[in-house]
Amino acid sequence: MARNYFDLSNPRHLEEIHELLMCADEEDPMLTENLGDESDIDSQDEVEEREDDSATEQDDDNTDEDEEGKHKNTRNVYVGRDNTTMWNKKPPKKRRRLAPHNIVTRLPGVIGHAKNAKTAVECWNALFTEDILDAIVRYTNQYIDTVQEHFSRARDISHTDVTEIRAFIGLLYLAGAYRGNRQSLEELWGTEGDGVEKFSLVMSLKRFKNLIRCLRFDDRTTRSQRKELDRLAPIREVFEKFVENCQKSYCAGENVTIDEMLPGFRGRCVFRQYIPSKPNKYGIKHFALVDAKMIYTLNMEVYVGQQPAGPFCVSNKPSEVVKRLAKPVFGSGRNITTDNWFTDFDLIDYLKTKKLSLVGTVRKNKRQIPSDFVDVKRREQHSSLFGFNDGKVLVSYVPRLNKNVILVSSLHNDDAIDPESGDKHKPEIVSFYNSTKGGVDTADQMCASYSVSRNTKRWPMVIFYTMLNVGGINSQVIYLGNQLEKMRRRVYLKSLAHQLVLGELHRRSMKTIGIPSSLQSRLKRFIPTEGREESPPTSHPKRRRCITCTAETGRRRMSNYECKKCQSAICLPHANMVCQLCFSERECVAPSNSE
């Protein structure tokens, strides 16, 4: 009998969940589009380039100062280049008990109201709660009121509601599942049989374009005052609620990763970033705290540069960013893996007070590092050098000649070598770092695989698309954590999209005014059960267009007759005559069709 549950403490079950999340089809080339949406946010265009390199391997380029410090190392200790930090050459005696910052105190898994979610859309609702959707509807309608005068017909730019916004988001997910996020909208709504039927069933192409142009996330009447204190004012309210819901719905595993995401954006933005090592190179930088195994994003922060003086003015130093991102796991005994842009020795001591450990690569210019750990000219390939200081382990490993990798760990306490590394003789610290460093990068790749992002000139939309992409991954982690059906990610996103648009399909299937008869017939299968009432027979039925004539010949032939099964209008030339007895017998033997 097939197993239908997951045990998050079982490594094999975690591997299976990881495969379901990571499964993706081969990439297809996509067409691009430009909706021509103008930004309503006045901001200067500025690009900030991050000059620091976070590469793991470092070249050997010792300075004279390094050479001068070598003679200070004694037989038992290494002395840092600050002439203060001492690193013992031998590991301390093994402890009988784990250090307090290495003891996991909270079990990983789904928590809070999200534990009651039984469907894909309920898992998603735990992250995008009603207050978030209500805020989007309220601010979007506010913007619609300001642009209605530019439209000749009010119905072309009517107000929206939560049901329609859910359907709009569902179509974004559906386009992402089909790898059509950069495909022309006209092709997705294709009218000659080459489009995706559900797009035209849910809403018209014109309505979708109007919604994507009018979507807003804050009160425009007070934005100018709020922007004096906060650069993220146009979307902060919605963004912070989403991050808060992510933290209320899941407890991360024992290993988490902190790193950067860079959703692509080339429009005007005062805090747009240029990072050459990222796939997009230009974009809006996000710092993220991600479960290293389950790829669940627990915390995010948008980098907006130097904020004006006020409540949102915080330090952008890497160590301060780590402290803010790590707040959800304070006191939980988790380990944080970072690259050398974030790692700092003082930060490790601070995290110990919060019962957290850290493993990360270190830049060779840190003054606490002894010169012997930087100099690799006289060292053999695959050799390692260890130093021990107050619960921290410093290791220098030579993966290849004249290349050096320096790591520090407050999780490990010895100089063990990973036996599975074979002839490479990797220290266990290096192997552990390699297995946990990719949490954020993996989440970034998963977001790009089935992305909902579309071309836009408004940077708040880039952040909103990132929220949807992260929410799609997080909701599936909740779905699998609740022991629900096993689904690959693409199948899950299609299921989520269908459940999001179902409310709008039900509502639209009950309408007859303004919807073409050919579309009405396709929408009838979505009529709610309570709406399928038998209409009383009338002696003079209303004349309607024959659906077959309209679809095949384009002729407008009116008829009083209708199909007894689907109630579609038909003319006599397109009707098959059957006597009452044969019709009754056929109804009895015909197979039922529940779809």
- The verdict on 329 and 393 lying in the same domain is yes
Rounded CA separation 107/3 (Å): 22
Signed CA dihedral, 331, 262, 279, 491: sign only: positive
The structure tokens listed for 522 are 């396709």
- The verdict on 496 and 370 lying in the same domain is no
Rounded CA separation 500/125 (Å): 10
Asked if 526 contacts 538 with a C-beta cutoff of 8 angstroms, the reply is: no
Average pLDDT, the chain: 84
Signed CA dihedral, 516, 521, 527, 530: sign only: positive
Q: pLDDT for 57-68, tens place per residue? A: 666 655 444 454
Q: Residue 26: pLDDT above 50?
A: no
The structure tokens listed for 346 are 């003082």
pLDDT at residue 454 in the model: 92
- The verdict on 289 and 337 lying in the same domain is yes
- The verdict on 465 and 558 lying in the same domain is no
Identify the CA nearest to 56 among candidates 429, 313, 389.
429
Residue at 515 is within a domain: no
- The verdict on 410 and 469 lying in the same domain is no
Q: pLDDT for 423-470, tens place per residue? A: 999 999 999 999 999 899 999 999 999 999 999 999 999 999 999 999
- The verdict on 212 and 261 lying in the same domain is no
**Where is 165: in which H helix or E strand?**
helix 162-177
**Where is 525: in which H helix or E strand?**
none
Beta bridge partners of 86: 79
- The verdict on 282 and 361 lying in the same domain is yes
335-338 vs 357-361, strand pairing mode = parallel
AA identity, residue 415 = D
Rounded CA separation 371/361 (Å): 16
pLDDT at residue 113 in the model: 93
Q: Residue 251: pLDDT above 80?
A: yes
Q: Residue 202: pLDDT above 50?
A: yes
- The verdict on 96 and 185 lying in the same domain is no
Higher per-residue pLDDT: 568 or 351: 351
Domain end among 506, 524, 549: 506
The structure tokens listed for 499 are 């459940």
- The verdict on 179 and 219 lying in the same domain is yes
pLDDT interval class at 136 (50, 70, 90): very high
pLDDT interval class at 97 (50, 70, 90): low
SS3 47: strand
Domain end among 390, 417, 441: 441
Q: At what angle do helices 489-509 and 459-481 cross, to 10 degrees?
A: 110
Residue 222 domain boundaries: 11-30+110-227+450-506
pLDDT at residue 544 in the model: 77
Q: Give the rounded percent of residues in the chain with a pLDDT score beyond 90.
A: 54
pLDDT interval class at 50 (50, 70, 90): low
pLDDT at residue 491 in the model: 94
pTM of the predicted model, to two decimals?
A: 0.82
Total count of domains within the chain: 3
Rounded CA separation 10/13 (Å): 5
Rounded CA separation 559/208 (Å): 34
Asked if 102 contacts 96 with a C-beta cutoff of 8 angstroms, the reply is: no
Q: Give the rounded percent of residues in the chain with a pLDDT score beyond 70.
A: 81
pLDDT interval class at 554 (50, 70, 90): low
- The verdict on 83 and 116 lying in the same domain is no
Q: pLDDT for 153-189, tens place per residue? A: 777 789 999 999 999 999 999 999 999 888 889 999 8
Mean pLDDT is lowest, of 88-97, 288-297, 298-307, 314-323, for 88-97
Q: Residue 521: pLDDT above 80?
A: no
Average pLDDT of 568-581?
Answer: 76
Q: Residue 535: pLDDT above 50?
A: no
What CA–CA distances, in Å, run from 403 to 56, 80, 220, 382, 435? 10, 20, 54, 10, 21
**Where is 333: in which H helix or E strand?**
none
- The verdict on 416 and 330 lying in the same domain is yes
Distance of CA 296 to the CA centre of its chain: 9
Average pLDDT of 307-321?
Answer: 93
- The verdict on 305 and 431 lying in the same domain is yes
Residue at 584 is within a domain: yes
In DSSP notation, 551-581 reads: HHT----EES-B-TTT--B--GGG-----HH
pLDDT at residue 31 in the model: 36
Higher per-residue pLDDT: 38 or 118: 118
pLDDT at residue 106 in the model: 74
pLDDT interval class at 107 (50, 70, 90): confident
Average pLDDT of 297-316?
Answer: 93
Residue at 305 is within a domain: yes
Residue at 163 is within a domain: yes
Identify the CA nearest to 217 among candidates 195, 232, 202, 201.
232
